[in-house]
Amino acid sequence: MCSFITTEFADLLQIKKEKISIAVSGLNSAKINVSSRVCTVVSNKSDFEMRLEFLCVPKISSMIPIDSLQIPKEHLPLNIKLADPYFYRPGKIDVLLGAEVFYQLLRFGQLEMPNSELKFQNSVFGFIATGSTSNSQSEKMKYTHCGLIYDCSDIGNDIKKFWQLESIGIKDDPSCNEVDQSLEIFEKTVRYKDNRYEVELPWKRDWHELNENYSIAKKRLHSLVRRFKKNPDLNLQYRETLHDYEKNGIIEKVPNLENPINKPVFYIPHQPVFRDESSTTKMRIVFDASSSRSFQHLSLNDCLWPGPNLNSNIFDILINFRLNKFAFISDIEKAFLQLTLAEKDRDAVRFLWTENDTLQVYRFNRVLFGVRSSPFLLSASIKTHLKKFHDEFPTTTECLNRCFYVDDFISGADSLQDALEISTQAVSIMDQASMVLRKWTTNSVKLRQLWIREGLENQLQDNPISPRANSTKVLGMLWNTVDDYLIVGTQSLVDSLSNNENTKRHLLRAIGKIFDPLGLLSPFIIRVKCILQVLWMKEISWDEELPPDIQKTWCQWVSEVPHLSELKSLDMCSVLLPENPLTS
């Protein structure tokens, strides 16, 4: 059961709220929609402290008790501390703690008063009065409070995903404190050693607050091992990946299993993720640094600054990419793993593994994807590296600085010679940070041939049997390198619509599958936005069947989705920069 706090009390405590959308159901299926939650610490005045998450509600209950209780003095215990010395007086309820923490609040000791139905149970807050009284006033009405989560799926994430693209180019700046702290820590601690950059984790709070998370990591590993028994091929791929990591110094066995005194320790659970569209690695291991023993315990990600977003805007990158006559893309092989993690932080990225049925403890020597601050550390390291080469290669370093998005390099040039020069210089520059630019792809056959001569990897091969064989992904869009156009990938949308559900929840989740950073589908998507607007105005609940008139409009929209794959981006280079302006 969840814990609750009144909105008024949360405001009084000045606790920062997080927007959510959760339906809470109580007696007789009465529902309320909760739109915010907070996280704070509950403690007594001495030896108890617990971090809890609360749902914010306007009101928890009526006054409790509803009338003053007339309790004889002989029915009240002496010489003990009561959690509420005035429990018999009506009082406002500002906080309701959930049943999931109930037994953690109890302490040994219970008092029963003679000639009374009252009992007093010891707790971390003092003795709590329970039972009933013979007070006639209280017989007027009896209250009880019951609550349960009706639907925990946070639909707010779907809403956020759908509307996020509307604000491309309009960034919510992180707080100045966050930016300053992250950059200051990075600039003070970054080192260039052995052809790599060494960085430290940007801790935003005392790491002593971090729980080691060992029990959760062990539980998740046992679940993974059971999965291996059903899938030997997965087991083999997993072990080969970790063996490769160890061979290349990316991970190492922890030599001393005793927790170090002056270093943070955290065990990160892991699991496989499959990517059928990947041309290199179909299975990769993902580490969950947001894992924690319970919601009142901190995860590793809770303790780290995320750092500012140093990437260029996706829209700008794609538009500039389409302006080039000779376009090309590449990415850094295992980019995050090319950054060395400072020795003092390595025990914070431990993980469990099993060899011959024996539990082993490993830790990362490199920066790990899945840790909150990793994208910032990668971008900051790349920008630091590029500064060293600006005087020698000004054009290429400027291009790299402007056209990197995390580990993807998306750029081009107006001439074949410039395209070759930028790409070959980029390889040389990034190689000096142990970052290998690979999977080179271009729209130019001539540039491909020059790359082969220069020893660059030539990833794509023409396959006339399937049009998509000539396509590769560019920041979530599909790029046909032969005919040189971009299209919006819609297969996940088509798949999500296959179950023919007609509810507001399904509608929003379906259109959340559309990733259209260039706005190619805006005239089509606006129709769904209008449907959503009507649903909100009519206060249609999440799982209610759509009204017939709206359902008809929605089904018409769904029937047109398969045609979206025919919509292609313009060849902007040809439109804006015609080779022969007099004949265009």
Q: What is the pLDDT of residues 281-324, one digit of tens each?
A: 678 999 999 998 776 678 999 999 999 999 999 999 999 999 99
Least trusted range by pLDDT, from 184-188, 247-251, 404-408, 525-529: 525-529
d(C-alpha 4, C-alpha 159), whole Å? 24
Beta bridge partners of 95: 5
pLDDT > 90 in the chain, percent: 44
Q: Comparing 397 with 125, which gets the higher pLDDT? A: 397
What pTM was computed for the model?
A: 0.71
583's tokens: 């004949």
Question: Per residue in 171-180, is it b (16+ CB within 10 Å) or e — as a string?
Answer: eeeeeeebbe
The winner for highest mean pLDDT among 21-30, 105-114, 207-216, 232-241 is: 232-241
CB burial class (10 A; 0-12, 13-18, 19+) of residue 16?
exposed
User: For residue 129, what pLDDT is reported?
Assistant: 85
Q: Comparing 87 with 406, which gets the higher pLDDT? A: 406
Q: Are 281 and 369 in contact (CB under 8 A)?
A: no
Q: Comparing 462 with 487, which gets the higher pLDDT? A: 487
Please state which architecture CATH assigns to domain 182-480.
2-Layer Sandwich (3.30)
d(C-alpha 74, C-alpha 324), whole Å? 89
d(C-alpha 300, C-alpha 213), whole Å? 9
Q: Comparing 31 with 287, which gets the higher pLDDT? A: 287
Q: Is the pLDDT of residue 582 over 90?
A: no
512's tokens: 């959340």
Nearest to 320 by CA among 437, 418, 412: 412
Domain with CATH 3.30.70.270 in the chain: 182-480
The mean predicted confidence, pLDDT, of the chain is 83
d(C-alpha 525, C-alpha 511), whole Å? 8
Digit-coded pLDDT (tens) for 178-191: 677 889 999 999 99
